Structures are given as C-alpha cells and as structure tokens.
Amino acid sequence: MTALTGFELQKVWRKGNFLSLMVLLLLLNVFLLWYVNRPAGDEPPLSAYKAVCQDISDMTEQEKFAYISDLKERADGSGDSLIYTDSPEKECTLIDELYEEISAVSGYDDYLASVQKNSSQLDGISIFRSPTSEENFGSRNIAKSAADHAGLSSENICWFPSKGMTMAVESRATDLLLLLSVFLFIGQLITEEKGKGLFAVTRSTKRGLWADMGARIAALLIHSSVVCLLLYGSNLIVAGSMAGIGKLSASLQSLAPYVESSFPISLGAFLTLGLITKIGAVFLLGLLLAACAVYSSHSFMPQLIGIGFLGLNWILYAFIPSYSHLNLLKHLSYFSLLRTDALFGTYFNLNIMGFPLGRTSCSLVLLAVLLSAGIAAVLLLFRYGNRLSMNRTSGYFHLPFHPHNSLFRHEGYKMLIANRGLLILLAFVILLGWNALGKNYTPSAGEQYYQSMMLSLEGELTEEKEAGIKAEQSRYDEAFAQMERIDQMVADGRISENAGDSMKEPWYSEVAFYPWFQRIQTQYERILSDGGVFIYDTGYLYLFGQMDDDFLINLLLISLCFSFAFANVMAMEDGKGLWGLLSATKLGRKRILVQKWMVCSVASMGVTLLPWFFRGLSISSVYPMGEIWAGIQSIPQYREFPVNLPILWFLMLTVLSQLISTQLICAVVLLLSKWRKNYFQTLFLALLLLAAPLVLAQMGISIMRWFSVWPLYGWTGYIG
C-alpha cells in the first residue's frame, strides 16, 4: 500500500505542469498575503509592529504595559513623537491599537473573574428561566462558560502585537488557494486517468478493488497536508519577517483577538491544531471531488459539484446571522470549518435542543463523521460503480465565431475568446480601477488652506496677487515675532513657562498653516527669479507619482495581467501541432506571429491607459488641475527638468514612456511563449522575471525595482 501510494503521488507530482502550478500557487499566496495586508491611508506599516515586538521582547508584562501607556500619553498629549512610523496619524493609530490590545490582555484575570461572577449572579435571575423548566439554554450556557474557563489563569501570558499572527492564520486568500490545489490534484489523480479509460484495467488487477483507490485516497491526504504546510508555513515566514509573530510558547490568550478562548494551549499548539483541522477540511473537499470523479462520466462534473458545494456553504456562512434560529447551518458550514482561528481562538456554544455544546467540539465531530463517510463513499463507488470512462462530449462554452477575411480578428478571437484572455484582462482592469478609485483622497485642513490660496493665485503674477502674498507673510511674521517676544519673557523670568505656553496658544493657531504657505512662497520666489505662473500643483504631484506613488503596484498588476493573459499566445498552435501546416499557407508563419503581436500590443495599450483615466478621475475630483499649458518647471519638484515642456506635453511623455515599458513586458512574455511553447513554463518564467522583482520591491527590498522596467515606467515619481 505504501509503495502504491508513492506511485500515485509521483504520477501527479512529477509532472512539470503540475509542479509549475504548485510553485505558482505558492508565489501567488505570498503576493496576496502582502497585497491584502499592505497599509493604506493612515495605517501604520507592518515594520512598525515588528519593531514593537523587538523592543518589548525582554520586558516583563508590567514593563510592557507601562511602556505602551507612556507611548499613549505622549501620543495623546502632543502627537509629534514619532518612534515607529513617519507621520503623527500613523503613530497615533498604531499606539491606540497596541494600547487597546495590551489593556485587554492585562485585564485577563479580571475577565476570568467576571465569567465566574456572572455564573453565580445571573444563574438565579428569572429572565434566564422558562416558566415550565428550572433551566434553559441561557442558564446552562452561563454555567458551562464558567466551567470551561475554570482552569485558566494568566500564568503564561506574554503579550505582543497580534498583527503578525493574525495576518498569517486568518488569510482567506490562502484558504482559497488550498481549495484550488485540491481541484487541480483530483483532476490529475482521477479525472485524467479515467478519461484515458484506465479504470476498467485497474479494477481488474489483483489489488485493483480496494488497494488502488485506498492508495489514491492516501495520496490525496498527503497532498492536502503538504500544500497546507507549504502555504501556511510561507505565511508564518512572511508575516514573521514583516510584522513579527512573537513567542510560540506563550499562552493563546496572550493575543488580544484570542483572549476569550477557553483552550489552555500555547500559540504553537494553536497553530498545530489549526493546521490539522485545515488539512482535514481540505481533505474533505478532495473526497467529495474524488467521489464525483469516480461516479460521473463527464469530466466537468467534479468541478461543477465542487463549486456548487462551496458556493452553497459560502451563502450559509456569509448570510445567516449569528442570532438566527438557523445559525447551526452557519456555524457548522464548510467555511466555518476552515476558520480555525475562530474555532480555537474564540468561545462560542451552539444551542442544540436547549443545551449548550461547544462549536469547536461539534465542528470537529462533524468533520470526523464526514471524512469517514467520504472515504467509504469513494471506495464503494469505485468498487461497485459502472462508469469507468469519461464521456467525450465537451462541456466548454464557446462564443459563436463568424467567418471573415481578417487575420487580426481571427487571432484576436483565438487569444481573447477561445483562450479566455479577455476574462483575465477584464479581471485585472477591475483591480487597477479599484486600486485608483478606491483611494480616499481627503485634504487636510492645511491642504484646504493651500488649495484655496493657490486657486486664487493661479495664473500670471499681478500686483494684487503680490500684495495678497505680502500681507499673508506679514501676518505670519507678526505671529512669529510675538512668540519670540513671549519666549524672551520666559527666559528673563518675567513669566512662568506655563504662562508663556498659554500666551502662545493663540499665536500657534495663527502659524498652523505656515508650512503650506511656504509652498506658496516657493512658487512666488521662482516666478520673481525665473518667470512663469502660479499653479495649484497637488493634483499633478499625485498624478505624476510625487505624492502617494502607486506606479509600482500598477506595474506589478500589469505584469501579472500580461503574464497570465499572453503566456499561451505563441504556444496555442504547438499543442495541436499546427505550426507545420500554418507555415505552408499563403499567409505563412511570419504574418501570423505579427498579427498575434499586434493583438497583444493593442490589448496592452488599453490596459496601460485605463489606470490613467481612473487616476485622473479620482484625483481631479478632489484636487483641481488647471493651467495645463503652463511649463512643467512651474511645479517646484520639476524645476530642474531639462526642458520646460507644457504640462500637457509632459503628461503625454509620461504616458508614452509607460506604453513603451508595458510593450516591453508584453514582448518578453511573447518571446518566452515562443521559446518554451508551454503555457505553465512560460507563465512561471514570466512571473519570475517580471513580477518577482516588483513583489520583492513592494516587500521592502527597494533595490529590486531597478531590475525591472520600473525606471522607465515610474520615472516621474522619483526625479526632482
């Protein structure tokens, strides 16, 4: 049996295409983990959490609380103390989050005491007793909660920020990739072999009745375990390197999100139990797909049934409220099984016939029952089933193709419709649009002041505008003079320091917007020395990447898009051996290759230009962009640009450079496709060459961006 299991695994794992897919899933998992958790707006960077973990690693619990409390007081008092981030807003967000977490963990003994107190106090309240019975679910639930928490204490509590751990174990993207790997494995393990008509031969052998399918089931379990270990192991490594995961020997209740758990286990045990449960849940889906593959004579039925099963369970999990009388369907659904962080990290009892039963226990018992039933079903269907081959009818949907004389249209249909490239392009266009339109541009009070001033000054310098600037400067000069006078009075001992601070408060309000006025002064001085016009430049700074530069993430998404959409372009005909026939036609191989490149080129131009439309729409709705014909040197950040092009021409130059860079990406993918003549090999190499450097750059290794086309694509964001 062991040798047969190894043989079944080798049949799948040793295939180059399958290994390429598994590597792709691993890389995609790392990318999605980073992408989903990258900070937005005023959220602190992941490195800040890691720095906190390192700073408190040698502190006692009392010292940790005192340290975070001190940070909280300073942040609330002045807000200008930057230790872990680069802005007061991010610093305050981080400190508030950490203070809330450590307060919850530090009060763990009080929480345990309140659970026991509730049991003694609320058990006798009449609202928890029904008229016809001494006990009901409410009173039983209180008693059970007290009993489940009775043996817990704060003895092994060791607090640290929960960001890294929750980032690693609560990744929904990782769960989806796990499920996808099972679909791929079953397709190779059973569906493909059954499609070749080998099941009838296998069943007629000496060990074909039980041992063969038993080996396949064991191979499925091993595959599920290995993929779970790989994906969640990579999550822990990445999360630990980016945000820190703390001490695995600490109790589970050391993390604020899991402080209500009743399991007296360490974080290491929590990870182990969660991983075993996920392996069981993934194995269960594999058994369902295997049973469908054995029973059905259509190759698409396992995928159809599997997607339907997951879709139904997602509806149950997502749309049934926790307070509904149907909540058993929610909490015992398949996606609830996958949420191992909730199973072991929170406390919840199910109401079953008036008795409280732990959700975790019920879920694990249900999982064991379903696994046993699934194994039996697969074995019995293989032993007694009579559908030992696949129906050759195709289950794919094709749009109607109308004959015509255009080779461009013909190649476009093959690549975008028949090869489903259009779906990939549309998916990434949605991602690019969401990345741009989803940004929340909210001008600060200072920016609103600057916007109001600059919109009134835009255009040529006039005497009236110059008088307004000088009047504003005089107001600031007066405020600074008064503050200096008060400081001198404090230094001479004529007033106390507290009295001086009180006297300066009104003047602080007067100079609050002075940093933004300095931007106005910069343009004014440039006009006096070199000529030019005033221009409200914030919108252009966002548009050209000088502020909130997202060119790198856009380039990464475009690289992924072209890799997935065009990896099969040059390899399409190789799979059916058509190049020999096409080379002999009048149009010939060369013209076909040219038309393929033209289709990809047009598609890539559209994908490149759309982010500009989304960005322009989103930015201009908040920051007006006028004076489009003003010279680019009117914007202070581009004062040293060699040629004073009109801003419109500079914009066109920027777009052109991005079009050239994306055309280069497209060309690399097509050359790889022509060289390897295999979709998965091309995809793997394209992701390695084009996407991997950008992913590493986004993860903090900034030098890697220079090993891509980013210098050509995003040059307007770093010059000046």
d(C-alpha 118, C-alpha 113), whole Å: 9
For the cut 70, the answer to whether the pLDDT of residue 546 exceeds it is: yes
- Residue 395: the pLDDT is 40
- Residue 318: the pLDDT is 77
- Residue 658: the pLDDT is 94
Q: Of the given ranges (397-406, 598-607, 645-654), which has the lowest mean pLDDT?
A: 397-406
Q: What is the DSSP string of 295-359?
A: H-SSTTHHHHHHHHHHHHHHHHHHHS-TTSTTHHHHHTSHHHHH-HHHHHHS--EEEETTEEEEH
Higher-scoring residue by pLDDT: 391, 176: 176
pLDDT, tens digit, 9 for 90 and up, residues 124-141: 554 444 444 456 777 788
Task: Give me the sign of the Cα torsion angle 405, 406, 411, 416.
Answer: negative
Q: Of the given ranges (605-614, 648-657, 663-672, 678-687), which has the lowest mean pLDDT?
A: 678-687
pLDDT, tens digit, 9 for 90 and up, residues 264-289: 999 999 999 999 999 999 999 999 98
The residue written with tokens 């372009």 in the block is: 569
Taking residues 694-700, report their average pLDDT: 73
Provide CB contacts within 8 A for 234, sequence distance 6+: 26, 29, 30, 33
- Residue 143: the pLDDT is 85
The residue written with tokens 């769960």 in the block is: 175
CA distance readout (Å), 153 to 111, 145, 261: 10, 15, 12
Higher-scoring residue by pLDDT: 76, 336: 336
Query: Phi, psi at residue 183, to the nearest 5°?
Result: -55, -45
Instruction: Map residue 251 onto helix, strand or coil.
Output: strand
d(C-alpha 585, C-alpha 633), whole Å: 56
Mark 108-123 as b/e (b = at least 16 C-beta within 10 Å).
Answer: beebbeebeeebeeeb
Maximum mean pLDDT: which of 408-412, 476-480, 593-597, 692-696:
476-480
pLDDT, tens digit, 9 for 90 and up, residues 436-461: 777 778 888 888 999 999 999 999 99
- Residue 394: the pLDDT is 41
pLDDT, tens digit, 9 for 90 and up, residues 558-576: 998 898 888 888 766 655 5
CB atoms near residue 37 (< 10 Å): 19
Given its phi and psi angles, is residue 420 left (phi above 0), alpha (psi -120 to 50 degrees) or beta? left
Taking residues 549-559, report their average pLDDT: 87
AA letter at 430: I
- Residue 73: the pLDDT is 82
For the cut 60, the answer to whether the pLDDT of residue 34 exceeds it is: yes
How buried is residue 521: exposed, middle or buried, by Cβ count under 10 Å (0-12/13-18/19+)? middle
Q: What is the DSSP string of 7-53?
A: HHHHHHHT-HHHHHHHHHHHHHHHHHHHHHHS--TTPPPHHHHHHHH
For the cut 70, the answer to whether the pLDDT of residue 509 exceeds it is: yes
Q: Of the given ranges (38-47, 178-187, 382-391, 430-439), which has the lowest mean pLDDT?
A: 382-391
For the cut 60, the answer to whether the pLDDT of residue 401 exceeds it is: no
Q: Which of 427, 600, 450 is nearest to 518 (CA)?
A: 450
d(C-alpha 122, C-alpha 138), whole Å: 9
pLDDT, tens digit, 9 for 90 and up, residues 198-232: 555 555 555 556 677 788 888 899 999 999 999 99
AA letter at 51: A
Higher-scoring residue by pLDDT: 1, 53: 53
pLDDT, tens digit, 9 for 90 and up, residues 355-390: 889 899 999 999 999 999 999 998 888 777 665 554
d(C-alpha 631, C-alpha 650), whole Å: 9
Percent of the chain with pLDDT over 70: 86
d(C-alpha 389, C-alpha 391), whole Å: 7
Q: Helix-strand-coil percent breakdown of the chain, rounded to 5?
A: 70, 0, 25
The pTM of the whole model exceeds 0.85: no
Taking residues 41-57, report their average pLDDT: 88
AA letter at 158: C
- Residue 656: the pLDDT is 95
- Residue 393: the pLDDT is 43
Q: Of the given ranges (90-104, 242-256, 294-308, 489-503), which has the lowest mean pLDDT?
A: 294-308
Percent of the chain with pLDDT over 90: 32
d(C-alpha 553, C-alpha 695), whole Å: 9
